[in-house]
Amino acid sequence: MRRIDTDVLILGSGGAGLFAALHTLQVAPDLDVTIAVKGLLGKCGCTRMVQGGYNVALAKDDSAERHFMDTIEGGKWLNNQDLAWTLVTEAQVRIRELENELGCYFDRNPDGSVHQKAFAGQTFDRTVHKGDLTGIEIINRLAEQVWSLGIKRLEDHRAVELIKTTDGSALSGVLMIDIRSGDFTFVRARAVLLATGGGPTMYRYHTPSGDKSCDGLAMALRAGLPVRDMEMVQFHPTGLIAGPDTRITGTIIEEGLRGFGGHLLNGEGERFMTRYDEQGERATRDIVSRAMLSEMRAGNTGANGGLFLTMRHLDGTAVRKNFRGMVDRCADCGFDLVSGLVEVVPTAHYMMGGVVFEVNGKTALRGLFAAGEDTGGVHGANRLGGNGVANSTVFGGLAGDGIARWLASAGELAEPDATALNDACGHCLHPFEKPSGDIEAIRERLYDMMWEDAGIIRDAASLERAQTELDALRRDLNEIGVNAGTRAYHLAWHDWLNLKNLILVSRVIVAAATARDESRGAHFRADFPDACDIGNSWFTSARLDGDDIAVERKPVRFTRIRPGETLLRETAAE
């Protein structure tokens, strides 16, 4: 087994991971920093796929307080308020860092000020963007800085297990697979950042690429770490649906189109959103997704079982100018976004839940830090569009600062638990000891079950079915294997490992959803359609207890504001 020592190991090369690397070296330039990524740095991950933009209060009539209130109310008061306040205030710092220090250039108004567009669920147009290709702009500039600094990279390396020290009191390092050779690598580090991103690809329709399989969350669970809010899975209302034979199905048709004035139509050509919410198409993502699913279940659908987005009532030149990427993507799939109908479906997009962490990135395991979509608490029960990339860049930078400062007086290289390391290797090699089977059939079963029984609308019966099927899927996966031979670029092997992680995280989603006997934000229970007492809100905290999922309720601490109050002076004065 190849062994590597480094001061700081960063798992993931999205906005959180790359910002953490840069900030670590700003504080402590002599540290040895290594970035490990499942694909190629700058070319994979979810931040690069961001279309919509970056929420930040910049305009004269906007404020951090107003952004905070939108975030808390959008999160249905489940947010960790200290984390949410950090998000909205540090976003103002980070957006200037992106432009002034890293070289991002966002769209401008005629007077030269930064253009900010409308996004659903917000009371002010505060979404900074680069057309509809914002993520590419951010990641390209971040990657250029990382390359220029000569930061070490382990590309095509997937992390498979967090390995503790012999006494179990701290993290020693991370076991990885070099995808190019299939060999194991153990990276010992003084500090590790978990920034692999989420990726709810266990659902039939999903926005992340197929290689996103909740690896970070699964590793954290196996290491005994608590995760919170895991029942809160966000469905983006408008995922492109182009039939079952293309991977483009599920990818986002961005929210800014609805903010710009786009309409949603059912299969009969009727606009329906105003029947579900007075904000119409600009309601929050959870409301729009549920309304769409209700129309779909009523049979009011298009040829592929979806609904329609249309911009044809708007100025075509303006649509082409502001959404060039979307116009081209739709055209590639045979849809005319400017003057026709584009078939769409709600698509699993983001996980509000994740590892419990502090503002500086610390977790319950000594030596392990976390940032980005691997973490929970920032968004509560529902994330506002545009707050995701702000979350990654804000807390990635803060984690880098925190790691560097912590290592100034702590965090020595420590030997791994040899038994745990050997066991982890054995678990990874398990599918080579079994007869090859139909992995795709298991994936399809997972897709269908999570979409139908643990998706946008749930109830006790559907969640019980989901739990039963997940137990069966886990058993069935353990009984099938992959073809032996070279382990280099063994895609079936990695599909097996992906499914193992997705099934584990799905079990936690279902357990947390079962525990929340109310409806709140992205979590809707048809058998408990109302929210409980907001003033006595609680969040779910789950952990792996042996082979079972243990879930407990923990009270939300209203550290800055209580339900019914506001930070907005003009509102308070009325």
* Cα dihedral across residues 372, 373, 374, 375: positive or negative: positive
Is 522 in contact with 232 (CB distance < 8 Å)? Answer: yes
- The CA-CA-CA angle for residues 388, 367, 356, to 5°, reads 40
Could you tell me which of 191, 193, 185 has the C-alpha nearest to residue 219? Answer: 193
φ, ψ of residue 38 in degrees (nearest 5): -65, -25
Could you tell me which of 345, 363, 365 has the C-alpha nearest to residue 354? Answer: 363
* 3-state per-residue secondary structure call for 382-416: CCCCCHHHHHHHHHHHHHHHHHHHHHCCCCCCCCE
For residue 293, which amino acid is it? L
Active-site entry in 67, 94, 206, 236: 236
Stated as kind and residue range, the H or E segment containing 139 is helix 134-149
Could you tell me which of 139, 129, 105 has the C-alpha nearest to residue 56? Answer: 129
Question: How many CA within 13 A on the CB side of residue 30?
Answer: 3
Sheet with 233-240: list strands edge to edge.
233-240, 341-351, 307-310, 263-265
Is 149 in contact with 25 (CB distance < 8 Å)? Answer: yes
φ, ψ of residue 252 in degrees (nearest 5): -75, 135
For residue 401, which amino acid is it? D
d(CA 141, CA 513): 39
Note if 67 is an active site residue: no
For residue 204, which amino acid is it? R
Q: How far does Cα 543 stand from its chain's mean position?
A: 19
Note if 206 is an active site residue: no
Q: Is 432 helix (H, G, I), strand (E, B) or coil?
A: helix
H helices of 408-490, in order, are: 418-429, 439-453, 460-479
Is 375 in contact with 395 (CB distance < 8 Å)? Answer: yes
Beta strands 263-265 and 127-128, pairing class: unpaired
Could you tell me which of 415, 411, 416, 379 has the C-alpha nearest to residue 394? Answer: 379
Q: DSSP code of 375?
A: B
Determine the longest span between alpha carbons in the chain, in angstroms: 72
d(CA 20, CA 23): 5
- The CA-CA-CA angle for residues 255, 47, 217, to 5°, reads 105
d(CA 406, CA 170): 14
d(CA 210, CA 337): 26
d(CA 452, CA 555): 30
Is 374 in contact with 277 (CB distance < 8 Å)? Answer: no
Number of H helices, E strands in the chain: 15, 18
Active-site entry in 48, 258, 443, 458: 258
Residues with active-site annotation: 236, 258
